[in-house]
Amino acid sequence: MTTSVHGPAQETVGSPRSRRALVAGSVGNFIEWYEFGVYGYFATIIAANFFTPEGGSDAEGLIKTYASFALAFFFRPVGAALFGRVGDRIGRRPTLILVLLLMTGATTLIGLLPTHATLGAAAPWLLTLMRAVQGLSAGGEFGGAVSIMTEFAPRGRRGLYGSWQSFTVALGLLAGAGMAALLATVLSATELDAWGWRVPFLMTLPMGLAALWLRLRLEETPPFRRIREDLPATSGGPRTSRAAGPRTGEVAVAIVLGAGRLMGWSAAGYTFLVVLPAYLQSTLDATFQQALVATVLANLGFAASIVPAGALSDRVGRRAVMTTGAALVVLLAFPLLNLLQDPAAPPLGKGLAVCVAGAVVGLMAGPGPAMLAEMFPTGVRYTGLGLAYALSNAVFSGCAGLIITELIQRTGHADIPAYYVAGTCLVSVAALLTLRGDDHRRSLRD
């Protein structure tokens, strides 16, 4: 049975609880994507310090760096399942505090790790271990944060509130790019390679402490409290008293369908927003500074469209906005890449192109969190939407750099990124067309 989450405990627009949920829910995502962005922006430097012993090629080191990058993403589904189960049983608030502590600790330790020159073969393994812990914590972050934000959202504002989770992706990537650009400007190449790359990772510690303070002030959501109150005294976990819970098979189908709907966002987002710097440097011979400028412009376009797209989806529906975004990526992928490859193209045109590419991805990212929250009832929402997001990111974001770099090296074909994002977005269009047009008007299910 479908029941409204906007009953007696309905949040009003701009209420203190909803604002706290918005900030506390999104702050962990900011830190997560700040770190993942920094790792992507410094991929060539990290490769040299950890994955390229004497005699190894730069391309080989970069592929190993992206393999470590991808491994962390494959721990996300494990974290989503583990922490999602905890979050659906004991609550969103304590679980989000735990994953924040793990994420902050692992990221800070990366900034302290000895390199291959100091520790030898153990260095890349230690880095990979920290990346695995980050993947576990990141897998538990998204489901809980989106649950908090959408379950506290006022009536008719789920798309807007959920979009802030995606907006902090852009803010985190921009903060990482800004930090990388600042360090590349004030430090010499030797200093950046030797110790400067550590600074962005160490900055996570004060950010994590600030986020912890915010989450300690967070309340549990009304829908979760409601199903907890419905539990018999001997029950070991939440279930709805209003209807039998969804069957495992139904949840599994919804997770796979959700991952398909996010596939294009995951692939295009990470290709345009994170992998782009390394592609421009390794394939198109751009400088580190030029690559960062392009990435900043792409992320600015991404950030500018996310919240408006989420708000628009509250009016016209998730399906219309997200399908438009995925279809535009299919149409624009090759023209964009060909423009970047053209040495005669004006810099202004290239900058505008990457900015538009980011904005198009934002059309998928803005409504995405609310779309996922609407697919699952409260008792399995943390786990279900977290797993859908984590699986999509593991396969299509985490592997983006590895797949693109490896295929370009093997084939010499510079258009590989366009094939990758166009193909995945085409599949997403098909999956998104299965959405009901009025899902945004329906209440979340208890």
Q: What is the DSSP code string of 257-286?
A: HHHHHHHHHHHHHHIIIIIHHHHHHHTT--
Rounded to an integer, what is the distance from CA 35 to the centroid of its chain?
11
Tens-place pLDDT, residues 211-243 = 999 999 888 888 888 887 765 544 445 444 444
**For residues 213-223, b (16+ Cβ closer than 10 Å) or e, as one string?**
ebbeebeebbb
Instruction: Please enumerate in sequence order all residues whose Cβ is within 8 A of that of 267, keeping only pairs 6 or more positions apart, or say none.
Output: 396, 397, 400, 420, 421, 424, 425
The Cβ-side half-sphere exposure at 152, using a 13 Å CA radius, reads 27
What pLDDT is attached to residue 309? 97
End-to-end CA distance of the chain: 8
Class of domain 16-220+246-441: mainly alpha
Q: What is the gyration radius of the CA atoms in the chain, in angstroms?
A: 21
Closest CA to 155 of 254, 8, 306: 8
Tens-place pLDDT, residues 235-272 = 445 444 444 567 788 899 999 999 999 999 999 988 88
Domain boundaries, the chain: 16-220+246-441
Tens-place pLDDT, residues 10-28 = 555 557 788 888 888 888 8
Closest CA to 403 of 275, 273, 264: 275
Tens-place pLDDT, residues 318-370 = 999 999 999 999 999 999 888 888 888 888 888 888 899 999 999 999 999 99
Q: How confident is the model at residue 59 (pLDDT cuts 50, 70, 90)?
A: low
Tens-place pLDDT, residues 90-149 = 999 999 999 999 999 999 999 999 988 888 888 888 988 998 898 899 889 999 999 999
What pLDDT is attached to residue 144? 92
- CA angle at 293 for the pair 310 and 199, rounded to the nearest 5°: 90
The pLDDT of 288-317, averaged and rounded, is 89
- Contact criterion met (CB below 8 Å) for 269 and 357: no
